[in-house]
Amino acid sequence: MHGKFITFEGIDGSGKSTQLRMLANELRIRGFNVLPTCEPGGTPLGRRLREAFLETEETVSPLAELLLFAADRAQHVNFLVKPAVAEGKIVISDRFADATFAYQGAGRGFSETMVNQVIELATGGLKPDLTLFFDLPVAIALTRTDSRTDAGEQKNRMDKENAGFYERVRESYLQIAANEPDRFRVIDANGSTSEIQTRVVEIVAEFLGNE
């Protein structure tokens, strides 16, 4: 079987990482060869970039941020995603290019044309076969990320943005989802972990079954 490239998107705190872990386990039980990964930080270079520009107190210019996410992605696509898909793996990435469109485009204010050019350059035109968007009201997502911080996790620079920023990001994701209904599935992320897992497994199993 030819591999597949599946991505998870959503604002911070929407539950993507939790669901990605659960889906990867479930698919393995069902006999699929799964490779979970993430952006930024899916490769050794990407992890170093992530630390340098995300986990820092230093002011990072919006343009540097846009290009560093792109650099992380170019490395990820070439050395991890493409080879694994070619080997027949189901690659599931916690975020990909739609995050740049939503965060650097709608969030930071770069034009769609510029953001799309940078995405094209970094991905060489690679698109996910399926994208799940975990949709959650901003206020609930912020409560979740705050409790993650209370539990001891460090906030990165993006976690410190205000509600208005995340509202723009969420609207932008909903717009991409509406524009690309064949690739996107919007999941109501305002439920229990197990309710959402049932829905995620249903969608992905149907997608893999139909391929």
Chain positions contacting ligand TYD, by CB under 6 A: 12, 16-17, 39-40, 69, 95, 99-100, 103-104, 156, 158
Using rule CB under 6 A, residue 175 touches ligand ADP: no
100 binds, among ligand TYD, ligand ADP, none (CB under 5 to 8 A by kind): ligand TYD
Q: 193 touches which of ligand TYD, ligand ADP, none (CB within 5 to 8 A by kind)?
A: ligand ADP
Q: Of residues 3, 15, 41, 46, which one binds ligand ADP by CB under 6 A?
A: 15
Whole-Å CA distances, 35 to 63, 74, 79, 87, 137:
31, 18, 13, 11, 29
Q: Which is nearer to ligand TYD, 32 or 39 (CB)?
A: 39
Q: Which does 95 bind (CB under 5 to 8 A by kind): ligand ADP, ligand TYD, none?
A: ligand TYD
CA-to-CA distance for 13 and 171, rounded, in angstroms? 16
Q: Binding partner of residue 210 among ligand TYD, ligand ADP, none, CB under 5 to 8 Å per kind?
A: none
Do 90 and 209 meet the contact criterion of CB atoms below 8 Å apart?
no
DSSP assigned state of 189: -
Beta strands in the chain, from DSSP E residues, in sequence order: 4-9, 34-38, 90-94, 130-135, 184-188
Give 118 or 132: the residue with its C-beta nearer to ligand ADP: 132
Q: Does 12 bind ligand ADP (CB under 6 A)?
A: yes
Q: Give, in order, the Cα–Cα distances in Å from 120 to each of 1, 9, 46, 131.
A: 27, 18, 18, 17
Q: Which residues of 82-102 are buried (b: 16+ CB within 10 A; e: fewer)?
A: bebbeeebbbbbbbbbbbbbb
> Which is nearer to ligand ADP, 5 or 133 (by Cβ)?
133
Which of ligand TYD, ligand ADP, none binds 98 (CB below 5-8 Å, type-dependent)?
Answer: none
Residue closest to 120 by CA, chosen among 74, 160, 87, 68:
74
Do you find a cis peptide bond into 181, omega within 30 degrees of 0? no
Q: Is 156 in the site for ligand ADP (CB under 6 A)?
A: no
Q: Which residues bind ligand ADP (CB under 6 A)?
A: 10, 12-18, 144, 147-148, 192-193, 196
